[in-house]
Chain A
Amino acid sequence: FSQTKTITGTVLDENEMPIPGATIVVKGTSRGTMTDFDGKFQIEAEEGEVLSISFIGFSTKELLVESAGNYRIMLSDDVSQLDEVIVTGYTSERKSDIAGAITVVDVEDLNREVSPNIITSLQGRVPGIQVNSGGTPGGNDSQITIRGLTTITAGSSPLWVIDGVQTFNPASLNPEEIASIQVLKDGASTALYGTSAANGVIVVTTKRGKEGVSEFSVKSETTLNMLRDDINILNARQWADVYYQARANDGISGDFNVLADNGSGFDLPEFLDEAELIRASDTDWVDVIIDDSFSSNTDLSYRYGEENAQVFTSLNYTKDNGIQKHTYYERYNARLNTSFDFWDDRITIGENFLYSNFNEVKANEFENAILQNPLIPVYTVDGDYTAPTIQDKANSLANLWSNRKNEQRNNRFLGNVFANIKIIEGLTFDTSLNFDYTRFAFDTRTQPFVQVGRIPSVFNNITVAKDRNSSLRTIFTNLLTYEFEMDKHRFNVLGGIEFTKEDFESEVELTNGVDITEYPTYIIKSDAEFRTVRNEIDYRKRSFFGSLKYIFDDRYILSGSLRRDESSRFGPNNKTAYYPAGSVAWNVSNENFLEDSKFISNLKLRGSYGINGNDQIPNYLYLSTFFDSSIGNAIEFLNYDIDGDGIGAAEGIVQARQANPDIKWEQTAQTNVGFDLGLLNNRISLTADFFDKRTTDLILQPIPQAINGEAEPPFINAGEVSNIGFEAILSYRNRGEGVLRYGIDLNFSQYENNVESLDTDNNFLLNGVSITRAGDPIASFYGLIADGIFRTPEEVAVHAQQPGKGLGRIRYRDLNNDGVINTDDRTIIGNPHPDFIYGINLNVGYKGFDLSAYFDGKQGHDLYNIQRNLGDFTYFSFNFGQNTLDAWTPENANSNIPALSTSNVNNETQPSSYFVEDGSYFRLKNITLGYTFPQQVSDNVGLTDLRLYLSGQNLFNTTSFTGFDYEVAGLGAGGIGVAGYGIPHTKTITLGISTKF
C-alpha cells in the first residue's frame, strides 16, 4: 500500500550550478515536470516509484522514491553527448557512429525565425545550405540547394524525408511541429535514397508523445511587417524634367501627351484628360500598393505518453499578410502522431498524419508601381480608379483590389501508417505506407472596378477558368534491420524494398465569353464557348537497397550501401540505376592515448564516397509526342480557318516533343573528408568538411535551333559539373558559469562551382544574361564589358566601330581588338555564386532573460540589376530611377550614368557589365529578447514556462547593391541573381507569448 509523497529538489550540474528546464518524469506514468530557472522542481510520487531526471547534454539519472523531502540531484556532463540517436533516413544512428557529413539543426534556434516556411527558417543556419528567396508572403518561392548547384536542367531541390515520407516540397510543414532536422550532405549518407538523393537529403522528424508527459503547449505571436529596403524613384516634377531633358537631348521638342513644352521644360497640367476627371498628381505608387501589415501565428499542441501509447497532436494557424496590399498566405495545419506498443513492446503500430490547408492570394504589382508615372493619381476626381494615361501601365492598386478574391486553395494530406516488429533480439521489420495527397483549386474571380466612370473592357467577354488538380503519391517501404554485437564488434545490416507511385490529374474548365459586371456573378454570354482541358501524369519507381555497418570497439567505423532504382522517367535503353557508397570513420578520442585527455573530449576523422542520382526531370522524355488542340490552350497555334468563313477553325496537329530513348538520371559522385573536434568537455566544438562533388550525365536541353522546329528539343545526358567546397561550424558554449549562460556558433561554407564540360552541339546554354558553358560556373553573367562613358569627342573618335557611340554613351570594350564592337566581344562579366556564406549565432541568458542574435551574410557574388534597364534609361515614359538625376552631361562630366535619351541607338540595354553589381550582404537576420517568468509566478496561474518575447527580423542590413532587394529568387541555369521586379522582402517585429500547462 503505497503512499503519496511530495518530492522537491534542485537539479545541479557538476559545478553545482542549477539546471533549468530539466525533465523529471515518474517512470511508467505520464506524470512529470520540469525545473525552473533556479533548477528547482516539485512533484508528487509514490513510494517505490522511480524518478527519471534528464537534460540534454547530461547523463540521465534515476532516483528511487523512498520518502518525501528535498533532494539535491547532480547531473554529470554527458561528455560524449554522442549517444544521442539521430534519425538519418531509413535508420537511426548514434551520433558517435556517424561517418558522413550530417548537420543536426538546432530546432530551438530555428523556431526563433518568424516564418511559416521551413526553408526560409533554415537560411544561414546550416553550413552548405544556400537559400534564395523572393519576398512572397508565406515564403513559398524560396529555393534551397545543398553544397552548390549540381544540375542545370533537372530539379535542384534536396529530398525531404518527413517522418519517412519523401517529398521535394516541404511547404506545408509548420516549423513548430518539428522535433528534429538532420541535413545529410555527403554522398554516402544520402546514398540509400539513390536516384532522389543527388541534391542532398533533409530528414525531418515531427514531435511525438513522451512517456510520462501530459502537456499542452501554446504559442501565439503577432508580427508587424514593413518594407525592408527603400525603393527610390522620381516624383512628378523630377520625372517631367528628366523626360524633357531626354527629349531635348534627342532634338525632340514640343508637347508630349498632356505636357506642354514651355520652351525650357514641361508644364505640369492640372488635368491629364480633356474631361477633367484625372487631376495631375504626385503619386508615390510604391507607397500606394504597400502597407505595413500584421501577421499572426498561433500554435496549440498537446502531447501525452504512457508506457504503451504516445500521442502528439497540434493545431496551427498562421497568416502572413506581407507588405503588398490585398495579398496574403494563410495556413491551417493539424497533426496527429500516435503510436502504440503491443506484446511487450515487440510490435509498435502508429501513424503520422498532417493535414494542411493553405490558401494564397498572389500578385506582384511592383513592376507596375515602380514604372507607373507619378503624374497619374490613384483615383479620379469622382473617386473611380484612374485608367492608364500617359503610358499604358495599369492602375496597380486597382489590379490588386480586383484580384483580392483570386485565392489559390491547397489541401494536402501527408503522412504514413507504420508498423515495427521486433522479430528476435536485434532483428526488426519495419513497414510503412507513406502518402502525400495534394489538391489544388483556383477559380478566377477578378472583380471589375470602375475606372473613369466605366467598367474596363477587360471584364467583358473574358475567359474564366476553374482550375483543379490533384496528385497522390504513395511510397510503400519495407525494411528489415538486424543489429548485433559480438565482443567489441557491432554490426548493423539493413535491407529494403520500396515502391513509389504518383498519379497527377488536372482539369481546367474554361468558359470563354463571360461578362463580369455584378461581382461575383458572371453573365455567361449566349455565344460563350466551354472547354475542358485535362491532363494526367504518372510516375513509378521501384527500388531495392541494402547497407552494412561495422563498428569495432567504438573506434573504427566502416559502412557500405547499394541501391538499385528503376524509374518510369528513364528511357527504355537505360531503365536501371545502381548507386553504391561507402564510408569510414575513426573515433580517435576513444583511443587509449586520448581517452583521459582533459583537453580533447572528442575527435573523429571521417571519410566517405557515394554515388547518387537525380531523376527530377519531366516524365515521358523518351516518347516522341504529337498533340492536337485538345491538350493545353493550343487552338490558336494549331487550328486554321481553312474554309475561310471567319468562324471556327479546323483542327491541326503538331509535334510537341522529340524523343530520346536513352534518357537517364544525372549521376553525382561525392567524396567527403571531415573531422569533428570537441575541446574542454565539448564546450568548444568544431566540425569541418571538405567535399568534391562531380555530376556527370547532366540532363540538358541544348539551345534549340529553329531549323528543328517548335517541338521541344530532346533532353540529352551530357556534360559534367563540379562543386568543390569546404564548410565548418565552430561553437562555444559556456556551462556552469552561474546564472549567466552564453554561447556562440559560427558557420561558414564555401564552394566553387564549375562546368567541366557540356558536350552538346553548341557547348553552352544562354538564357538572357546567364550563360552555362564549360570552364565557368553555372549561370555566369555574359555580355559586353561597359568601359565607362565617352567623355570627350576624341574618346568617341578613337574608339572602335560601335554603332550608336557618342558623347555620354556607354563605351564597350573591344575585347578581341578587331576594331568593331559586336557580339564577339562578349565575355563573362559576373559570377552569381558567392565566395562564401556565413552565419553567426549569439545567445546569452541571465536568469529569466534570454537574448539571441543571428547574423548571416553572403559574400562575393554578383547580381545582375535589370531594374536599371528601365530605371537608368529614359527610353520610355515610365517612371525612372533616381540615377537619371545624375545623368551625364558635359557639365556633369564625371557621372557614370549615361546621358538621357529617348532612344537606344547605342543598344545600352544589351547584356553588359554596366548592370553587374556586387551582391554581398551582411545582416542581422533575427534578434530575440525573451523573458521566462519564474516558476513560482507562473504556478500561480497554473502554467509552466511562461515566456514573453520580442523578436526582430532583418532589422539591420548592409549591402552595396543598388537594386531594391539584395535577395533575389532563382537558382538554376535559367538565371541566378538576376534582379528584376520581385516582391521585396520585409523587415518585421514580432511580439509573442508561449507557455505550457
Chain B
Amino acid sequence: CVSEDDLEVKEFNTISEDNLEPEALVISAYSALDYRFNTGQFRDLWPLDHAPSNWGTSDIRSGDAYKGGGGTGDNPGGGMHQLETHDLFPSSENGYNLWRSIYFGLKRVDAGIRFLVNLEDGEFDKRDVRLGELYTLRAHFYFEAMKNFGSIVWYDENTPVVELTSIPNTFDEAFIWEKIEDDLNKAISLLPDSQVDLGRVNAMVSRAYLAKAHLYQEEWQDVLTQTNIVINSGQYRLVEDIERLYSEPGYGNLENIFAIQFSINDGSQFGNLNFGDLLNSPDSPSDNSNHPYLNGDDFHKPSQNLANAFKVGDNGLPLFNSFNSINLGNDDLVDPRLDHTIGRPGITWKDWTPMAQQPNWSRDIGTYGLFVRKKNMIYPTSDGLASNPNGFPWALGNLDFPLIKYSDLLLWKAEASIETGDVATGIDIINRIRLRAKNSPYVKDFENPSEDAANYLINTYSTGMSQEMAIQALRFERRLELANEGHRFFDLVRWGIAATYTSEYISNEQSRRPYLSGANLAPHEYYLPIPQVEIDASGGTYTQRSGY
C-alpha cells in the first residue's frame, strides 16, 4: 500500500501557468479598470474610497465637490474627509487602496504582455493587436499613478519578476512620461483605428492618451498632432442630448473615446458595476418607494462654488470674476448644463415622474448643503439599472464611466491652440461645445413640463479675444463641461494654480462649510503620500515624498 501515488493530490479546477488562454489574460487586464480585485479584502471588493472615477482624489480636492455622506465623520477608507481638507497622511487607507488598485492593474497587464511576447509567430493571430491594447492599458495605469502619486515605481515585461520588490519609487517624471509615450507609440503601430468590440482600445484611444500625456508636459504641438488625427478620423462626435449622455447606457458610445465598460446580467452577483461610485447616489430616508433609486449614501456632493460657476450674465457667458460673490438663486440666469450636472431640490430628476428632487435626498444638509450629484447617474427607469425593482446597489447599472470623452479631447486641442497663440481655433472649439449644450434639450419644470426648469441661457464667445482671456475661457469651459468627472484637480495642478486657486476657494467656501476652516493645500499635497504600508513593506526601498 506504500507507493509514491499515495501522496499525489491535484488542485481542483485551476489552470496551470503553461495552459493559459491569451484572450482571457487580456480581458482580466481590462477588468482591472474598475479597480475591483479578488483578494477577499473589502477594500479590493468595493473601491468606494478610491474610485476609478477619481471623485475622491480629484473632485473633492478641487473645490468642485464636497465629500458628502452622513457628516464629516462618515469617512470611507478613513481619509476621505482629509482629502477634502488636504490633511493628507501616509497611513491613509484611501491612498493605499488606490496604489494597490493601480499596481494590481499593472500586474494583470504585465502578465498578459509577458505571455503574448513569448508566443511564436502564428500561434495566436491577434497577438499584435492584443499587445497594442495592453501597452495602452499600461500607459493608462501609469498615467493614473503619475497624476495621483508623482513618485512611482516603474517596471515592464523585461524586468525579472524576482526584482520587482527591489525597484525604488524614485523615477523622475520625465522618465515616466517617456515610458508612457513609448507604450502608446508602440500601441499605435500595432492597433487598428477601430475595433469590433466597443470596449477595446484602438489606435485612436492610444493617440488620445498620447495627446493627454503631451498635454501634461505642455508639449502643445504634439497635442495638436495627435488630437487632429483623432478628430479627423471622424469616429467620434459630440452627441446631441447631454442629459442622455449623462444618464442613458450606450447613448454616449460615440462621444466616449475610452470608457470603463459596465455590465449587468453577466452572472455576477450584482453585475460588473461602477462600485467606486456606489456611495454617490442621493439618499432616500425610510426607503421611500417614490424615490428614484430607493436609497443611497449621498457622497460626492457638488459644491456651492461649482453651482455658482454655472451662473451666466445677460450675454449667456460665465461670470468669471463675480460668480461666487452671491450664491446661486432660483431666478438667476444659468448655463443649462447646471441642471444636467447638479441636482437641486424642486428640479426634475432626469426621467423620474413620481417626484421632483427633495431636500431630504441630502443626508446632512447642515454640513454639506442641498446639492446632489446628478451627472453620470443612470436613468431611474433604465433597464440597465442593476436592481429591479429599485434597490441595492442603488443607482448602479451598466452606464459606462468615461475616461476620455470627445469633448475632453476637443478641449485639449483648444488649450494647445490657445497656448500656441491660435486663439481663434481654440475659441471655436469652445463654442462648438457650448453650442451643443445650447441645442441640447433643457431640463423641464416638474410641475409644468412645457417650461424650462430654470432661466437657462448660454451663448458663444466671440473669437476675438486676448490669449489671456482665452485661457480663462478655456479653463472655465473645462470646469463646466467636465464638472465632477475626475479631471479638475489634476488640471489645477498641471496649470500650476492649485495652491492659489484652492486657497481662494477655501477662503470663501469656509463660511458656507465651517469644516473647511483652516484647510490649506500645501504644494507637497498635490500628490498623495506614498502609502505607509508599502513603505514599511518595502523594507527601505520606497521613500516618502518630502513634506509628509
Contacts across chains A and B counted by CB atoms under 8 Å = 339
* Residues 282-310 (chain B) with a chain A CB within 8 angstroms: 285-287, 289, 294-295, 297
Q: Which residue of A lies closest to B287 (CB)?
A: A387
By the criterion CB–CB under 8 Å, are B30 and A640 in contact? yes
By the criterion CB–CB under 8 Å, are A708 and B107 in contact? yes
Chain B residue contacts of A903, Cβ below 8 A: 72-73, 81, 85, 515
Decide if A458 is an interface residue (CB 8 Å cutoff).
Answer: yes
Compute how far the CA of A647 lies from the CA of B265 in the bound complex, rounded to whole angstroms: 6
The proximity string for A residues 377-398 relative to B, scoring 1 for CB distances below 8 Å and 0 otherwise, is 0000000000111011000000
By the criterion CB–CB under 8 Å, are B72 and A910 in contact? no
By the criterion CB–CB under 8 Å, are A638 and B266 in contact? no
Residue from A387, A640, A710, A876 in contact with B71 in the complex, judged by beta carbons closer than 8 Å: A876
By the criterion CB–CB under 8 Å, are B267 and A531 in contact? yes
The proximity string for B residues 389-431 relative to A, scoring 1 for CB distances below 8 Å and 0 otherwise, is 1111000001010000000000000000000000000000000
Q: A389-B286, A636-B270 are in contact. Are A708 and B164 (CB under 8 A)?
A: yes
Q: A540-B9, A707-B153 are in contact. Are A646 and B71 (CB under 8 A)?
A: no
By the criterion CB–CB under 8 Å, are A655 and B265 in contact? no
By the criterion CB–CB under 8 Å, are A252 and B514 in contact? yes
Compute how far the CA of A709 lies from the CA of B515 in the bound complex, rounded to whole angstroms: 38
Compute how far the CA of A642 lies from the CA of B297 in the bound complex, rounded to whole angstroms: 30
Chain A residue contacts of B364, Cβ below 8 A: 256-257
* Residues 347-361 (chain B) with a chain A CB within 8 angstroms: 360
Decide if A823 is an interface residue (CB 8 Å cutoff).
Answer: yes
Q: A640-B31, A645-B198, A875-B72 are in contact. Are A538 and B9 (CB under 8 A)?
A: yes
Chain B residue contacts of A635, Cβ below 8 A: 266-268, 272
By the criterion CB–CB under 8 Å, are B103 and A640 in contact? no
By the criterion CB–CB under 8 Å, are A640 and B261 in contact? yes
By the criterion CB–CB under 8 Å, are A638 and B38 in contact? yes
* Residues 62-118 (chain B) with a chain A CB within 8 angstroms: 70-75, 78, 81-82, 85, 87, 89-91, 99-100, 102-104, 106-108, 110-111
Chain B residue contacts of A253, Cβ below 8 A: 366
Chain B residue contacts of A738, Cβ below 8 A: none
Q: Which residue of B lies closest to A712 (CB)?
A: B39
Q: Of the 9-residue stretches B18-26, B227-235, B317-325, which lies at the interface with chain A?
A: B18-26
Decide if A48 is an interface residue (CB 8 Å cutoff).
Answer: no
Residue from A534, A566, A625, A710 in contact with B44 in the complex, judged by beta carbons closer than 8 Å: A710
By the criterion CB–CB under 8 Å, are B199 and A644 in contact? yes
By the criterion CB–CB under 8 Å, are B75 and A904 in contact? yes
Q: Tell me how far the C-beta of A628 lies from the nearest C-beta in chain B, rounded to whole angstroms.
A: 6
Residue from A631, A639, A646, A763 in contact with B398 in the complex, judged by beta carbons closer than 8 Å: A646
Chain A residue contacts of B538, Cβ below 8 A: 705, 761-762
The proximity string for A residues 901-941 relative to B, scoring 1 for CB distances below 8 Å and 0 otherwise, is 01111010110000000000000000000000000000000
By the criterion CB–CB under 8 Å, are B90 and A823 in contact? yes
Decide if B7 is an interface residue (CB 8 Å cutoff).
Answer: yes
Q: Tell me how far the C-beta of B497 lies from the nearest C-beta in chain A, rounded to whole angstroms.
A: 24
Chain B residue contacts of A451, Cβ below 8 A: 287
Chain A residue contacts of B514, Cβ below 8 A: 250-252
By the criterion CB–CB under 8 Å, are B73 and A639 in contact? no
Q: Of the 9-residue stretches A51-59, A348-356, A616-624, which lies at the interface with chain B?
A: A616-624
By the criterion CB–CB under 8 Å, are A535 and B264 in contact? no
Decide if A798 is an interface residue (CB 8 Å cutoff).
Answer: no
The proximity string for B residues 474-505 relative to A, scoring 1 for CB distances below 8 Å and 0 otherwise, is 00000000000000000000000000000000
Decide if A23 is an interface residue (CB 8 Å cutoff).
Answer: no
Compute how far the CA of A764 lies from the CA of B536 in the bound complex, rounded to whole angstroms: 9
Chain B residue contacts of A257, Cβ below 8 A: 363-364
Chain A residue contacts of B17, Cβ below 8 A: 624, 626
Q: A273-B286, A647-B263, A709-B104 are in contact. Are A542 and B268 (CB under 8 A)?
A: no
Q: Which residue of A lies closest to B103 (CB)?
A: A706
Decide if A819 is an interface residue (CB 8 Å cutoff).
Answer: no
Give the residue among A454, A634, A651, A653 with the most B Cβ atoms within 10 A.
A653
Chain B residue contacts of A822, Cβ below 8 A: 89-90, 548
The proximity string for A residues 624-668 relative to B, scoring 1 for CB distances below 8 Å and 0 otherwise, is 111111111111111111111111111111111000000000000
Q: Tell me how far the C-beta of A805 lies from the nearest C-beta in chain B, rounded to whole angstroms.
A: 11
Compute how far the CA of A210 lies from the CA of B245 in the bound complex, rounded to whole angstroms: 84
Decide if A486 is an interface residue (CB 8 Å cutoff).
Answer: no
By the criterion CB–CB under 8 Å, are A761 and B165 in contact? yes
Compute how far the CA of A277 lies from the CA of B285 in the bound complex, rounded to whole angstroms: 12
Q: Give the interface residue-count category, chain A.
A: 35 or more
Q: Give the interface residue-count category, chain B.
A: 35 or more
By the criterion CB–CB under 8 Å, are A652 and B31 in contact? yes
The proximity string for A residues 163-186 relative to B, scoring 1 for CB distances below 8 Å and 0 otherwise, is 000000000000000000000000
Decide if B174 is an interface residue (CB 8 Å cutoff).
Answer: no
Q: Tell me how far the C-beta of A114 lies from the nearest C-beta in chain B, rounded to whole angstroms.
A: 37
By the criterion CB–CB under 8 Å, are B39 and A707 in contact? no
Decide if B384 is an interface residue (CB 8 Å cutoff).
Answer: yes
Compute how far the CA of A529 lies from the CA of B538 in the bound complex, rounded to whole angstroms: 44
Q: A252-B366, A542-B7, A626-B20 are in contact. Are A703 and B268 (CB under 8 A)?
A: no
Chain B residue contacts of A654, Cβ below 8 A: 28, 38, 108, 111
By the criterion CB–CB under 8 Å, are B27 and A905 in contact? no
Q: Which residue of B lies closest to A277 (CB)?
A: B286
Decide if A527 is an interface residue (CB 8 Å cutoff).
Answer: yes
Compute how far the CA of A388 lies from the CA of B99 in the bound complex, rounded to whole angstroms: 34
Decide if A971 is an interface residue (CB 8 Å cutoff).
Answer: no
Chain A residue contacts of B89, Cβ below 8 A: 803, 822, 907
Chain B residue contacts of A277, Cβ below 8 A: 286
Q: Tell me how far the C-beta of A511 lies from the nearest C-beta in chain B, rounded to whole angstroms.
A: 11
By the criterion CB–CB under 8 Å, are A634 and B38 in contact? yes
Q: A454-B287, A654-B108 are in contact. Are A633 and B72 (CB under 8 A)?
A: no
The proximity string for A residues 701-723 relative to B, scoring 1 for CB distances below 8 Å and 0 otherwise, is 01111111111100000000000
By the criterion CB–CB under 8 Å, are A653 and B391 in contact? no
By the criterion CB–CB under 8 Å, are A650 and B285 in contact? no
Give the residue among A254, A637, A877, A904 with the most B Cβ atoms within 10 A.
A637
Q: Tell me how far the C-beta of A276 lies from the nearest C-beta in chain B, rounded to whole angstroms.
A: 11
Decide if B262 is an interface residue (CB 8 Å cutoff).
Answer: yes
Q: Which residue of A lies closest to B261 (CB)?
A: A641
Chain A residue contacts of B464, Cβ below 8 A: none
Decide if B388 is an interface residue (CB 8 Å cutoff).
Answer: yes
Q: Tell me how far the C-beta of A749 lies from the nearest C-beta in chain B, rounded to whole angstroms.
A: 34
Chain A residue contacts of B365, Cβ below 8 A: 254-255
Q: Tell me how far the C-beta of B377 lies from the nearest C-beta in chain A, rounded to whole angstroms.
A: 15
By the criterion CB–CB under 8 Å, are B1 and A643 in contact? no
Q: Which residue of B lies closest to A251 (CB)?
A: B514
Compute how far the CA of A550 lies from the CA of B30 in the bound complex, rounded to whole angstroms: 69
Residue from A537, A703, A710, A873 in contact with B12 in the complex, judged by beta carbons closer than 8 Å: A537
Chain A residue contacts of B460, Cβ below 8 A: none
Chain B residue contacts of A710, Cβ below 8 A: 37-39, 44, 100, 104, 107-108
Compute how far the CA of A252 lies from the CA of B164 in the bound complex, rounded to whole angstroms: 49
Chain A residue contacts of B85, Cβ below 8 A: 903, 905
Chain B residue contacts of A567, Cβ below 8 A: 7
The proximity string for B residues 237-278 relative to A, scoring 1 for CB distances below 8 Å and 0 otherwise, is 000000000000110010000000111111111111100000
Decide if A140 is an interface residue (CB 8 Å cutoff).
Answer: no
Chain A residue contacts of B11, Cβ below 8 A: 619-620, 623, 625
* Residues 1-55 (chain B) with a chain A CB within 8 angstroms: 1-2, 6-17, 20-21, 23-25, 27-31, 33, 36-39, 44
Compute how far the CA of A708 lies from the CA of B10 in the bound complex, rounded to whole angstroms: 26
Ordered by A's residue number, 22 sampled pairs between the chains whose C-beta atoms are within 8 Å are: A251-B515, A252-B366, A252-B514, A273-B285, A534-B12, A541-B7, A567-B7, A631-B13, A638-B28, A638-B38, A640-B33, A640-B199, A642-B27, A647-B265, A647-B398, A648-B265, A653-B25, A653-B27, A706-B534, A710-B39, A875-B73, A877-B70
With A635-B267, A644-B253, A761-B538 given, can you name 20 additional A-B contacts, CB distance below 8 Å? Answer: A255-B365, A387-B287, A499-B6, A566-B7, A620-B11, A625-B15, A640-B33, A641-B261, A641-B398, A644-B261, A652-B25, A656-B14, A707-B106, A761-B537, A803-B87, A822-B90, A823-B532, A876-B74, A903-B73, A904-B78
Shortest 7 CB-CB contacts between residues of A and residues of B? A875-B73, A457-B391, A644-B198, A709-B107, A652-B28, A646-B398, A641-B263
